[in-house]
Amino acid sequence: MTKPVLNLTGDPRDRGRAHGEILSREIDENLDRYLKRFALLGFEKDVLMAESAKWAEALRPRDPLFWEEIDGVVEGSGRSLEEITLLNVRYELLVGMMKSNAQPQHVPVAPDGCTSFAVLPERSKNGDTVIGQNWDWVRDINTAVSRVTREDGPDFIHIGEVGTIGGMQGVNEHGIGVCINALMTTEDGKYEYEKPFRMRVRDILNARNMQEAILGVCGTNRTVAMNFLIAHEDGIAIDIETSPDKEAFIYPEDGVLTHSNHFCELDVESEVVKLWPNTMYRHVRLERLLRQSQELDVAAIESAMGDHFAHPHSICAHYDDDEPENLRLETNHSIVISLKQRTLHITDTQPCRSSFEEYPLAA
């Protein structure tokens, strides 16, 4: 099975409307699954919608074009603005509500997980710059590839959850690519209603150069901690660890860079290891696997992403049925991005269970 592909053109509202119309069933399913997950954590729909409305009101002036596209998804899907906003800010909204008095009791919950990497031209077989990751999250969340041709910014291709427009991993026509990893700190929620990570990923894909891409991450404070791996086809990769108001920068060593879900450079108190200690070895394991080859190609990288050391809490993650439901995660897809080729290579499920399919920016 391959991912659905949206070939989007026109103005932002046109693109959003096509997204909403074509994938309306998948949007309904994602909303249903997230509402059930929030209910598991003690949050009812009316409370979520009220908070979602606050996010939409606060964020619209920050990027009107982004929110015009959200409006299009609303029109095309027939869902409310609050519901579509919930999908687009669900991570930041959840953290904020977990930190507030809205939650009746503390229920631990794991964030989105990822093991990400960058390989520079000196280590790749064909001289390409390659980035990617395994995206670990709950089961049965619908995702889609969006190939966007537009007048209001660079063309790009990315994968994201259906109903969201910011994306998670992708590359634009200028050879700038991005991946993200969740982080957690005790400072999360310190600044309310700052740009969510999806808007920042879109800022990166809007960038004409690396300076603009970095500014998309570092230009303002953040509501939650997040890790952004940004790279350019010319052989530059920078990993940016962020807390709500601090940043640290990690650079490749000998052409290889890896990261998972804990802070490696930024000196802040992290909470991830308390819930998800496997982050402490996943990036080290991936780095070791990548360094075993002197000339890495896409096939070798794809093999490393299917690694099962410490299964089920491995780079290629699987549900652990002995864990509480709110802590279970698995690899929903693996992605390898060729920046020079402007091509995504994506699995439909775990890389051990499905093959990588190619999705080029040029249709």
| Domains along the chain with CATH numbers | 5-99 (1.10.439.20), 113-354 (3.60.60.10)
Dihedral in degrees, nearest 10, Cα atoms 90, 83, 219, 133: 50
DSSP 74: H
Q: Tell me the three-class secondary structure of 115-160, residue by residue.
A: EEEEECHHHECCCCCEEEEEEEECCCCCEEEEEECCCCCCCEEEEE
Rg of the chain taking only CA atoms, in angstroms: 19
pLDDT for residue 312: 96
Average pLDDT over residues 21-32: 98
- Distance, in Å, from the CA atom of 51 to the CA atom of 248, rounded to the nearest integer, reads 31
How confident is the model at residue 101, as a pLDDT? 54
Burial of 7: CB neighbours in 10 Å, binned 0-12, 13-18, 19+: middle
Quick one: pLDDT at residue 40?
83
Q: What average pLDDT is seen over the chain?
A: 94
Residue 107 pLDDT: 53
pLDDT above 50: residue 180: yes
* 312: preceding bond cis by omega (within 30 degrees): yes
Is the pLDDT at 99 greater than 80? The verdict is no
Give the lowest-confidence range in 147-161, 258-272, 307-321, 344-358: 258-272
The mean per-residue pLDDT over the stretch 229-248 comes to 98
pLDDT confidence band for 183 (50 / 70 / 90): very high
pLDDT tens, 104-141? 445 556 566 799 999 999 999 999 999 999 999 998 99
Q: Are 243 and 266 in contact (CB under 8 A)?
A: yes
At 351, the pLDDT band (50, 70, 90 cuts) reads: very high
